[in-house]
Amino acid sequence: PLPVILDGDPGLDDAVAWLLALASPENLTVLGVTTVHGNVALPLTTRNAGVTLALAGEAGQKVPVYAGADRPLVRPPLSAAAVHGDTGLPAKHLPEPGRDPEAEHAALFIIRTVRERPGEVTLIPTGPLTNVALALRLAPDIAPLLREIVWMGGSTAQGNRTPAAEFNALADPHAAQIVFEAGVPLKMVGLNVTMQCIATPERVAALRALGNQAGAVCAELLTFYAAVYQRRYGLSGGALHDPLAVAAALRPDLLTWHPMNVQVETEEGLNLGRTVCDLYGVTAQPANAQVAVGVRDDEFFELLLERIGRLP
Q: How many CB atoms lie within 10 A of CB 121?
A: 22
| Secondary structure element (H or E) that encloses residue 238, with its range | strand 238-239
7 touches ligand BDR by CB under 6 A: no
Cα(first)–Cα(last) distance of the chain, in Å?
Answer: 22
CA distance 311 to 199: 19
Size of the residue set binding ligand BDR (CB under 6 A)? 15
Q: Which stretch binds ligand BDR (CB under 6 A): 92-100, 166-174, 269-277, 295-303?
A: 166-174
In one letter, which amino acid is 298? D
Q: What share of the chain is helix, strand, coil (3-state, %, to 5)?
A: 40, 15, 40
Binding-site ranges for Ca ion (CB under 5 A):
9, 11, 14, 126-127, 242
265 touches ligand BDR by CB under 6 A: no
Shortest spacing between CB 81 and Ca ion, in angstroms: 13
Find the binding residues for ligand BDR in span 240-259 (CB under 6 A). Answer: 241-242
For ligand BDR, the binding residue among 4, 11, 15, 248 (CB under 6 A) is: 11
Catalytic residue ranges: 241
Q: Which stretch binds ligand BDR (CB under 6 A): 137-145, 162-170, 268-276, 296-304?
A: 162-170
Shortest spacing between CB 151 and ligand BDR, in angstroms: 9
Shortest spacing between CB 274 and Ca ion, in angstroms: 18
192 touches ligand BDR by CB under 6 A: no
For ligand BDR, the binding residue among 113, 168, 223, 275 (CB under 6 A) is: 168
| From ligand BDR, Ca ion, none, interface partner of 122 (C-beta below 5 to 8 A by class) | none
- Taking the least distance from each CB to Ca ion, the nearer of 46 and 261 is 46
Compute CA distances 164 → 107, 262, 270, whole Å. 29, 14, 7
Compute CA distances 85 → 39, 119, 209, 265, whole Å. 9, 38, 24, 28
Residue pair 278/268 in contact by the 8 Å Cβ criterion: no
Residue pair 91/122 in contact by the 8 Å Cβ criterion: no
- Residue ranges in contact with ligand BDR by CB under 6 A: 11, 13-14, 39, 80, 83, 126-127, 152, 160, 166-168, 241-242
